[in-house]
């Protein structure tokens, strides 16, 4: 199971953090928010807010890890580009080709490339056979496609039972 970051400072904060972890663990195992609330002895709203906060904390942790990894990858690409820079300046076609590949990778990593547009169509009968996750992915993809050139994607709504 995923673990939440940050150490709470007071006993009350520690209890709330432990409760959020229980809510997250139970939800990951498929329990509804009502079942979770009954099981841990809190209101449905508290369970919902705990889940929301736990997911936000995980999101921040994952974002920090992703940012760190992106930074490491950019440093590695810098090393590769520095290693072939002289050959590129001398006109070495192989080095130029490699430089372009490294440059393309850097652009993708930084999100500088324009998003690819695609048309999505789903028939009514196919919708009834899809899981909620599949439907959410389709909605998210459609929102990205409709957002146009700015590439901003609105998140699909969460199901809180």
User: Whole-angstrom Cα distance, residue 135 to residue 97?
Assistant: 41
Strands, DSSP E only, in the chain? none
Question: Minimal CA–CA distance to 3: which of 66, 69, 61?
Answer: 61
DSSP letter for 29, please.
T
**Residue 3 near residue 21 (C-beta atoms within 8 A):** yes
User: Whole-angstrom Cα distance, residue 64 to residue 22?
Assistant: 23
Residue 47, number of CB atoms within 10 A of its CB: 28
Task: Considering only the C-alpha atoms of the chain, give the largest distance between any 2 of them, rounded to a whole number of Å.
Answer: 72
The per-residue pLDDT string of the chain (161 residues; one tens digit each, 9 = 90 and over) reads 555 555 556 888 889 999 999 999 999 999 999 999 999 999 999 999 999 999 899 889 999 999 999 999 999 999 999 999 999 999 999 999 999 999 999 999 888 887 766 666 656 556 566 677 777 777 777 777 666 544 443 444 444 45
């Amino acid at each position: 199971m995923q673990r939440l970051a940050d150490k709470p400072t007071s006993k009350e904060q520690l209890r709330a953090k432990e409760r959020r972890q229980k809510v997250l663990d139970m939800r990951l195992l498929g329990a509804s928010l009502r079942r979770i609330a009954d099981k841990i002895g809190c209101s449905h709203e508290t369970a919902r807010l705990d889940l929301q906060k736990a997911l936000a904390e995980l999101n921040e942790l994952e974002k920090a890890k992703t940012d760190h990894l992106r930074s490491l990858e950019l440093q590695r690409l810098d090393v590769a580009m520095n290693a072939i820079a002289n050959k590129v300046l001398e006109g070495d076609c192989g080095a130029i080709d490699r430089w372009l590949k490294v440059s393309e990778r850097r652009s993708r990593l930084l999100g500088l490339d324009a998003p690819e547009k695609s048309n999505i169509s789903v028939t009514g009968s196919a919708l009834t056979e899809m899981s909620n996750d599949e439907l959410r992915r389709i909605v998210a993809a459609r929102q990205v496609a409709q957002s146009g050139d700015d590439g901003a994607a609105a998140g699909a709504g969460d199901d809180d039972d």
